[in-house]
Amino acid sequence: MNKKTILLSRILGRILALLGGCLLCATPVIAITISSLTQEREALPGESYTGTIEVVNNGDKSTSVQVHQTDYLFQSDGSNSFGPAGEFERSNAGWIDFSPNRIVIPPHETHRIDYTVSVPDNDSLSGTFWSMLMVEEIDSDSSPNRPADNQAAISQVVRYGVQCITQIGMTGISDLQVIGAELSMTADNTRELHVDVKNSGNRWAVPIAWVELYDENGQSAGRFECEKKRIFPSTSVRFRIQLADSLQGKYKALVVVDSGGENVLGAKYDLEF
């Protein structure tokens, strides 16, 4: 046995000795679920409406839940921003009163979080406003499953973000632009066309996206679709359109983003496989 092997054995021995005095304790997760993660309503300036979020404790022990507000923005690169409530110009956090902000839910019971949205009496309001109510399970130091002093606990926090969306009647318009497109290969070797779309308007859009491919002879090589996505004002999303593995060569691609009616956006690209 060489010196490096002896040294490594000693290091491993010390690590195992330390772990022997510090048992890992996985704290059971009390699973909570939420009735709906999206609450959307229409209202005009000066009007109010109410809503309810139901929180269900599916676990076998009581759990504490707290509620707080944040703003919410997201971009096509996968980044998310949960900023302080009310800072974003299209935040409706200041319009929302909710109660309670902390509850204890017995096992297998459901509790309600009630809220009221009071839209300011301001005729200049237009389009979509939104924010988040964050519903989060709280670890309790008094839990009977609290680890002993020589144990290291591994716990998991359950948190849900409930989008509270206010549409000011039918006002506002969406303004979509394709800001990028590129071919990609997934981990399981599936071909995808990634299409990034931004909304520069003041009302959300919920479009579907697809791509139509034409070979060098102008013959159709197929139409490929993906699911709808919500695009709020000042946000962007990435549509991931799966393509056929059999495609080879050069193609003309027509990307279509369709929000319904006359709200259709198109962009052309050259693709090569």
Res. 31: pLDDT tops 90: no
Peptide bond preceding 100 in cis form (omega within 30 of 0): yes
Residue matched to tokens 């393509």: 243
Same fold, 23-168 and 176-272: yes
CA distance 166 to 41: 5
Mean pLDDT of 21-30: 42
Task: Give the tens place of pLDDT for each residue, 73-118.
Answer: 999 999 999 999 999 999 999 999 999 999 999 999 999 999 999 9
Mean pLDDT of 56-77: 95
Res. 14: pLDDT tops 70: no
Res. 236: pLDDT tops 70: yes
Q: Do 196 and 241 meet the contact criterion of CB atoms below 8 Å apart?
A: no
Residue matched to tokens 């979080």: 113
Which string of b and e fits 35-69 if b means at least 16 CB within 10 Å?
Answer: eeeebeeebeeeeeeebebebebebeeebbbebeb
Res 94: pLDDT: 98
Q: Is the torsion defined by CA of 176, 181, 186, 191 positive or negative?
A: positive
Residue matched to tokens 């404790």: 57
* H-helix or E-strand spanning residue 183: strand 176-185
Res 239: pLDDT: 97
Res. 219: pLDDT tops 60: yes
Lowest mean pLDDT among 109-113, 231-235, 260-264: 260-264
What are the structural domain ranges in the chain? 23-168, 176-272
CATH number of 23-168: 2.60.40.10
Q: Do 94 and 86 meet the contact criterion of CB atoms below 8 Å apart?
A: yes
Fold of 176-272: Immunoglobulin-like (2.60.40)
CA distance 163 to 228: 17
Q: What is the DSSP letter of 27?
A: P
